[in-house]
Structure 1
Amino acid sequence: MGFQLKTAHQLVLKMRKLARQFRNSEDDKFSLPTVDDARPMDINEQEELVRSLEKMQAHQSLQWKSVFAALLFCYSAFLLYSIYQQTLFPWELRYHAYFMEDVDSWIIITADWLAVLACSMAIMGLFNNSKDHIKWIWYSCSIGLVLAIFWVYYMLSLSFDSSIWMF
């Protein structure tokens, strides 16, 4: 019986050791705690926790703003290339050549410049820390909406002009 007690005691110690290792494992850092913390946090600890969460949120917000600004910048660079091509070699680009019979070249160039302006305003709205940053984004959305209506109108006119719709 002494052997069994010693083995049972060793088993309990092993179980406690495994439980400690399981609680301290790196893979488990995102799970909820399994032990109830009966001691509530004092005000200083709560304020420190809130400050650390606010700091993490501000850092993540800046990262996402940077990602979206980089995407907008790349799209603006593409539009500038498109403007350059349309200015020097009109109707060479396939996505502009579709509109050759319906729209003048300068209108295409103006629409692309307005899109660059809208992207620039959106970037300004993302990184402007004053309370006017919302206005920049709304200005960008307004210009984008006008451009979307413009392009949808001309794309629909292309689809209705094609022979697909004739019976």
Structure 2
Amino acid sequence: MEKLSRKWRKSGRSSQFDDDDNFSLPTRDDFRPIDSQEQEQLIRSFEKNLAQQSLLWKSVFAGLLLCYAAFLIFSIFQQAYYPWELRYHAYFMYEVDSWGIMSAEWAAVVVCFMVITGLLHNSKHHRRWIWYSCFPGILSAVFWLHHMLRLAKFRWDILWLPFGPLSASSICLYVDHVLNESSEEVRKLREYMYAYKAS
């Protein structure tokens, strides 16, 4: 037991000294201005990293939305060929016509494809697609909530029907906003570049 406590004290002391090295005072070289060429390289690396991260996250969310849209299309065809067989459709058997269910799900599919277009479109106005997708999302949410409230018992397990498409639009708007903020920071950094030539 004593050996263990000695080892622990030794490792604690050595890590303390290692930490002190990490927090040493800066030397004169640490404050040397960055050469114009080094600035350009640094900002280009930031821009490249941002472009890769942006493409990755937009692709991830677009892929998730594509899967959700494929699920909704399957659900529509299931309702068309085998009406009321799916449990979440069967709840509305006495409340809504079959075409009403399919129309609401087609609206959700439209929302998904509008958001995907907004995410993957490289124009200046790509965010409009995501904003415009909120309107059919709201209509779909109102439709489902209206009929859910008319059921004899409120079904919490199908809360994704009204809020799925609207949540997709909101989350993707947030993702686009975060990526846009990062892009703005890199753009500001480029504006702060100064002319300096190391001698």
TM more than 0.5: yes
Residue number in structure 1 paired with 2:32: 39
Structure 1 residues 99 and 51: alpha-carbon distance in aligned structure 2, compared to 1, 3 A threshold: same
- Give the superposition deviation at 1:71: 0.3
C-alpha distance in 1 between matches for 2:120 and 2:24? 41
What is the aligned residue count? 134
Distance 2:122 2:23 in 1: 38
Aligned to 1:28: none
- CA-based RMSD of the aligned residues comes to 2.3
Which residue in the other structure is 1:148 paired with? 141
State the Cα deviation string for residues 45-67 of structure 1 (Å, max 9, x = none): 11221111011011101000000
**Are 2:77 and 1:112 equivalent residues in the alignment?**
no
Change over 3 Å in CA distance of 1:67–1:81 after alignment to 2: same
Question: What stretches of structure 2 of length at least 5 have no aligned partner?
Answer: 1-17, 155-199
Structure with bigger RCO (C-alpha 8 Å, 6+ apart): 2
The 5 A counterparts of 1:15-164 are 36=26, 37-158=30-151, 161-162=152-153
Percentage of matched positions with identical amino acids:
57
In 2, the alpha carbon distance for the partners of 1:68 and 1:48 equals 30
| Amino acid in structure 1 at the alignment position of 2:125 | D
The answer for the alignment partner of 2:182 in structure 1 is: none
Q: What is the CA deviation profile of residues 90-144 of structure 1, one whole-angstrom value per residue up to 9, with x for unaligned ones?
A: 1000001101111000000011111111100110000100122111111112211
Q: Secondary structure at the match of 1:80?
A: helix
The TM-score normalised by the length of structure 2 is 0.62
Secondary structure, in 3 states, of the residue corresponding to 2:150? helix
Q: Supply the distance in 1 between the matched residues of 2:101 and 2:68 (Cα, whole angstroms).
A: 16
SS of the residue aligned with 1:74?
A: helix
Which residue identity does 1:146 align to in structure 2?
L
Contiguous gaps of at least 5 residues in structure 1: 1-18, 24-31
